[in-house]
Chain A
């Protein structure tokens, strides 16, 4: 249980186009989802926190108009990279926090496998 999926796993796009990445909690509901960015051989950097039904909270230095986050349901959050540029190429990872009270552990974040974005 407690599986988080991301789609696509890998995407290549042209500079100037927009790319949408989906994060789904497959077998649990998540009020809060997080989006991270990971550069090669570096740590995960938190980009934003999204709560179902409300606007995402962005970390300092993250452009909210460039990285659009929508958390429309308790099982789905999307990250859209708008007008992508080569410097946006990175590994994007989401995590979902489990609502307490279910059959699974209630105090843990579960991570997706990541999406590799390459902007040409």
Chain B
């Protein structure tokens, strides 16, 4: 079945460092890919998404590119801030995504940023 694998945390970085969180997936066809973020005490929020190969999702300085050839959707940010400390989840949904589609999540990566 479909699945998502992301790098284990926790990841600890200094402020203004470059961030990469790796994510690879297994799926039939062309899934839609997502990154969700969960801040302490809050629900998951959609950070960015890409629905077809070579699409780049971006938001709040974060970026991820849908790579069909490597089945990857790595999350990157050029300069992290303390406020980026959270748990990040890579996820996928089947082709033809709608808000009523099932989402399959990775295990989450906890990110801590030191001032």
Q: Name A residues whose Cβ lies closer than 8 Å to a Cβ of B.
A: 4, 31-32, 34, 41-44, 46, 49, 93, 95, 97-98, 100, 106-114
Closest CB of chain A to B40's CB: distance in Å? 10
Determine whether the beta carbon of B108 is less than 8 Å from that of A114: no
Measured in the bound complex, the distance between the Cα atoms of B36 and A15 in whole Å is: 34
Determine whether the beta carbon of A98 is less than 8 Å from that of B103: no
Determine whether the beta carbon of B43 is less than 8 Å from that of A4: yes
Determine whether the beta carbon of B43 is less than 8 Å from that of A113: yes
Closest CB of chain A to B4's CB: distance in Å? 8
Q: Identify which of B36, B45, B107 contacts A42 (C-beta below 8 A).
A: B107
Determine whether the beta carbon of A100 is less than 8 Å from that of B99: yes
Residue from A42, A98, A106, A107 whose CB has the most chain B CB atoms within 10 Å = A107
Instruction: List residues of chain A with CB within 8 A of the CB of B89.
Output: 43-44
Q: Check if B98 is an interface residue, CB within 8 A of chain A.
A: yes
B interface residues, how many (CB within 8 angstroms): 20
27 A-B residue pairs with Cβ-Cβ distance under 8 Å, sorted by A, are: A32-B99, A34-B102, A34-B103, A41-B107, A41-B108, A42-B108, A43-B4, A43-B105, A43-B107, A43-B108, A44-B89, A46-B102, A46-B104, A93-B43, A93-B44, A95-B44, A97-B99, A97-B100, A106-B99, A107-B99, A108-B46, A109-B99, A110-B43, A111-B44, A112-B43, A113-B42, A113-B43
Closest CB of chain A to B70's CB: distance in Å? 21
Q: Check if B18 is an interface residue, CB within 8 A of chain A.
A: no
Residue from B44, B104, B107 whose CB has the most chain A CB atoms within 10 Å = B44
Instruction: List residues of chain A with CB within 8 A of the CB of B103.
Output: 34, 46, 95, 109
Q: Check if B41 is an interface residue, CB within 8 A of chain A.
A: yes
Would you list which residues of chain B between 33 and 56 have a CB under 8 Å from chain A? 36, 41-46
B9 (CB) vs chain A CBs: closest residue: A41
